Each structure stands twice: as structure tokens, then as C-alpha cells.
């Protein structure tokens, strides 16, 4: 898939969504450095599409590029805030904004956006999962466990992802967390 998307991007660099598919595919396949290499071109080609920032920030964080991640996150904040002035009911944008605010230690802003997103989409497994990440990031363990439990009931049941997600590290080892997302037994 990566080769196909790279060919599309090479032929039609301003094709809407092509860079998003490319960076998502690269991130999902663990090619974090490749994401970092195309990040600027992807952001420029994507205009005001806030979705482009998600895999880029995830890759930069995975690479430990803290300063680059912080700079890109600031840009993402501006794009999402502007988007929400036009489309205030966009729950995905609100939950991402909450995530970025939490990473910036803007707890009140993070809580406001998270609660709004959860009101807009109370049964959306991705909104609930991201809410758990936000609550965990701002050290609100009971709220994080509650949101993660709701995400599980709503259908988010990927234990591999949940156990790898460093934004949920506050919950790792908690009995309720382990019950919802048990570790796979290791082969001896």
C-alpha cells in the first residue's frame, strides 16, 4: 500500500488525502522516520485538514523528537481551533484539541474540550478512548478508567494498541485496566 500511495503523491502532490494516507500507512507500519521526512510537505499539501497532524505527531513522539513535536502540535492547535470556529459540533476535532491541550498542560482547556466531545458523541468508542488518554495525561485516574471502560463497552477492544499507548501509562498495572485489556500470555 505504501508504494501505491507514494506513487499517487509523486504524480499528484496536491491530491486531497493522499499525504494523509501516506503518513497513516507509514506510521502504522512503524516507519516513523519516513513520516518525519515527509511531514512538512504533508502539512503544506493538506491545507486546513487537522487529521494530517495525528500520525505526524505520533511518529515524532515515537522518535523522541520532543521539540519538533511541540512545534507541530502548536500548529495543529491553531488549525483545529480555527476549524472549530466554523464547525463547533466536530467531536473528533474537539477530542484531538483536548489531547493537545493536555499535552500542553492546559488542564482546564483539555477538560472542557473532552467533556464537549463526550457530550457530542457519548457512545463513540474513539472519543471515549481518547478521553481516557486525556484523563490519564492530566492524572485523573478514576475518570480515565471510567472512559476506558466505556470505550471497551462501545467496541474499542484492541489490547495491543491500548497496552502500547504511553498516554495510558497511569493505568497500566491497575486491576480494572488489566481486566479490560489483559496482557497476552508469553510463550515459554
5 pLDDT more than 60: no
Q: What is the pLDDT of residue 156?
A: 94
Cβ-contact 164, 183 below 8 angstroms: no
Residue with the bigger pLDDT between 46 and 2: it is 46
Cell triple for 188: 515459554
Tell me the pTM. 0.86
Cβ-contact 113, 90 below 8 angstroms: no
Q: Are residues 166 and 122 in the same domain?
A: yes
| pLDDT confidence tier of residue 154, bands split at 50, 70 and 90 | very high
Q: Are residues 7 and 42 in the same domain?
A: yes
Cell triple for 103: 499535552
Domains of the chain: total: 2
Q: Are residues 97 and 50 in the same domain?
A: no
Q: Are residues 179 and 126 in the same domain?
A: yes
Q: Supply the range of the domain harboring residue 27.
A: 1-63
Q: Are residues 59 and 116 in the same domain?
A: no
Distance, CA of 142 to CA of 92 (rounded, Å): 23
Q: Does a structural domain hold residue 74?
A: no
Q: What is the pLDDT of residue 164?
A: 84
Q: Are residues 181 and 130 in the same domain?
A: yes
How many residues would you count in the chain?
A: 188
Q: Does a structural domain hold residue 71?
A: no
Burial of 168 (0-12, 13-18, 19+ CB in 10 A): buried
Distance, CA of 179 to CA of 79 (rounded, Å): 38
Cell triple for 158: 484492541
Q: Are residues 107 and 20 in the same domain?
A: no
165 pLDDT more than 90: no
Distance, CA of 94 to CA of 115 (rounded, Å): 9
Q: Does a structural domain hold residue 110?
A: yes
Q: Are residues 107 and 59 in the same domain?
A: no
Phi-psi region of 123 (alpha: psi -120 to 50; beta: other; left: phi over 0): alpha
Q: What CATH number has the domain bearing residue 187?
A: 1.25.40.10
Average pLDDT for 7-16: 60
Residue with the bigger pLDDT between 51 and 1: it is 51
Q: Are residues 131 and 174 in the same domain?
A: yes
Q: What is the pLDDT of residue 171?
A: 95
pLDDT per residue over 26-42, tens digit each?
998 999 999 999 999 99
Q: How far apart are the first and last CA of the chain?
A: 35
Amino acid at each position: 500500500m505504501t508504494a501505491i500511495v507514494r506513487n499517487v503523491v509523486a504524480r499528484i502532490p496536491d491530491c486531497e488525502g493522499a499525504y494523509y494516507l501516506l503518513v497513516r500507512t507509514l506510521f502504522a507500519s512503524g516507519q516513523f522516520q519516513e513520516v518525519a521526512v515527509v511531514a512538512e510537505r504533508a502539512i503544506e499539501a493538506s491545507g486546513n485538514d487537522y487529521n494530517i497532524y495525528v500520525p505526524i505527531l505520533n511518529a515524532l513522539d515515537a522518535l523522541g523528537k520532543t521539540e519538533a513535536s511541540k512545534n507541530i502540535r502548536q500548529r495543529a492547535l491553531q488549525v483545529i481551533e480555527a476549524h472549530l470556529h466554523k464547525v463547533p459540533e466536530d467531536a473528533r476535532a474537539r477530542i484531538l484539541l483536548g489531547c493537545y491541550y493536555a499535552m500542553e498542560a492546559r488542564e482546564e482547556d483539555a477538560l472542557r474540550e473532552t467533556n464537549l466531545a463526550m457530550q457530542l458523541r457519548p457512545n463513540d468508542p474513539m472519543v471515549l478512548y481518547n478521553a481516557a488518554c486525556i484523563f490519564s495525561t492530566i492524572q485523573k485516574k478514576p475518570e480515565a478508567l471510567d472512559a476506558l471502560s466505556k470505550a471497551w463497552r462501545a467496541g474499542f477492544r484492541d489490547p495491543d494498541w491500548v497496552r502500547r499507548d504511553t498516554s495510558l501509562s497511569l493505568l497500566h498495572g491497575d486491576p480494572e485496566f488489566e481486566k479490560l485489556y489483559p496482557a497476552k500470555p508469553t510463550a515459554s
